[in-house]
């Protein structure tokens, strides 16, 4: 990144780039872990990997590295409180998982029951960029939930997207 760019100006600009809110989970030798993120996107559809960016200073970072798997649980418009629960550092990891139903797909990472969609991934590679690690996950399983409005993070706040209204011919 160009060092001449003011860090706060960059952050303010990025706040205008809305993103879907997801809970990223993992399970394995380092235990069960979950965190809220909006830095998630597809890379291509052939093959279909996802990328997830996690701050290397996050206390959950090492567990994602050690476990080698992750599940991207995309949240619906009605799940802002759950997002806040997984973003709150004062809530222990076991407490985060108590309030909702969870299941497993292919990797053993917790998949949120009631998410818009779950992408269950095996981490195939990662790169450190600045303060974050970019994890690339090979999607091994997808589970679609009920079609409803989504939850996005925009301008440093949650926004609910309404369900799709079909276009009239």
Domains and CATH numbers, the chain: 19-154 (2.30.110.10)
Q: What own/partner pairs with CB < 8 Å and gap ≥ 24 does 56-64 have? A: 56/128, 56/131, 56/132, 56/133, 57/131, 59/89, 60/33, 60/34, 60/35, 61/133, 62/30, 63/26, 63/30, 63/31, 63/33, 64/24, 64/26, 64/33, 64/123, 64/135
User: How high is the pLDDT of residue 36?
Assistant: 96
Residue 91 pLDDT level (bands cut at 50, 70, 90): very high
Per residue in 98-136, pLDDT (tens digit) is: 989 999 999 999 999 999 999 999 999 999 999 999 999
**Model-level pTM?**
0.91
Residue 2 pLDDT level (bands cut at 50, 70, 90): low
């Amino acid at each position: 990144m160009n060092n001449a760019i003011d860090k706060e100006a960059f952050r303010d600009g990025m706040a205008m780039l809305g993103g879907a809110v997801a809970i990223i989970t993992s399970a394995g030798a380092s235990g069960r872990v979950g965190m809220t993120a909006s830095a998630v996107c597809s890379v291509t559809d052939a093959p279909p990997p996802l990328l997830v960016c996690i701050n290397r200073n996050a206390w959950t970072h090492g567990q994602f590295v050690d476990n080698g798997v992750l599940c991207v649980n995309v949240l619906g418009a009605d799940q802002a409180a759950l997002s806040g629960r997984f973003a709150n550092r004062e809530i222990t990891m076991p407490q985060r998982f108590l309030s909702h139903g969870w299941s497993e797909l292919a990797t053993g990472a917790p998949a949120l029951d009631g998410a818009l969609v779950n992408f269950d991934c095996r981490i195939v590679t990662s790169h450190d960029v600045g303060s974050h690690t970019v994890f690339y996950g090979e999607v091994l399983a997808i589970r679609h939930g009920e079609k409803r409005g989504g939850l996005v993070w925009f301008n440093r706040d949650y926004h609910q997207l309404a369900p799709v209204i079909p276009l009239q011919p």
